[in-house]
């Protein structure tokens, strides 16, 4: 693992731990990001935009009409985590990571648990 990836892994696990995510989820989340970066790191601005639209279409097929509410809940969770330990929002904005349907789907799944635990 490169020093950059070690730093990313440590930071990601700090956010995940703060959100009380189970280790298995953390592993899946880190793996999803590690799979996204090689696909998106050399894309142009236009290619990243197209990638985002394709990934959003996948999410629409998976979640249907409830997608916007689920995205809102995931966004609220990310905001809360970023306030506690800054950096998560910047990570999700970089290299198409936050556009990945797999990354977003994992955040959606965990947001339900996060909000239930925190009475939101």
How does DSSP classify residue 97?
Answer: G
Domain of 89, in residue numbers: 3-117
Cβ atoms of 77 and 110 within 8 Å: the answer is yes
Cβ atoms of 78 and 107 within 8 Å: the answer is yes
pLDDT digits 0-9 by tens, 83-119: 887 878 888 888 899 999 999 999 999 898 888 888 7
pTM of the model: 0.86
Structural domains counted in the chain: 1
pLDDT digits 0-9 by tens, 8-67: 777 777 777 766 778 888 788 888 988 998 899 899 999 999 999 999 999 999 999 999
Q: What is the pLDDT of residue 120?
A: 64
Tokens of 52: 């985002």
Q: Predicted confidence band at 4 (pLDDT cuts at 50, 70, 90)? A: low
């Amino acid at each position: 693992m490169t020093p950059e990836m070690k730093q990313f892994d440590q930071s990601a696990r700090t956010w995940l731990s703060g959100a009380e995510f189970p280790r298995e989820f953390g592993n899946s989340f880190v793996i999803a990001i590690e799979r996204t970066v090689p696909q998106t790191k050399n894309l142009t601005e236009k290619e990243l935009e197209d990638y985002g639209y394709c990934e959003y279409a996948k999410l629409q097929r998976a979640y249907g009409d409830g997608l916007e509410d689920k995205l809102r809940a995931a966004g609220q969770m990310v905001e809360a985590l970023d306030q506690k330990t800054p950096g998560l929002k910047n990570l999700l904005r970089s290299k198409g990571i936050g556009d990945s349907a797999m990354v977003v789907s994992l955040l959606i799944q965990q947001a339900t648990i996060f909000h239930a635990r925190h009475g939101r």
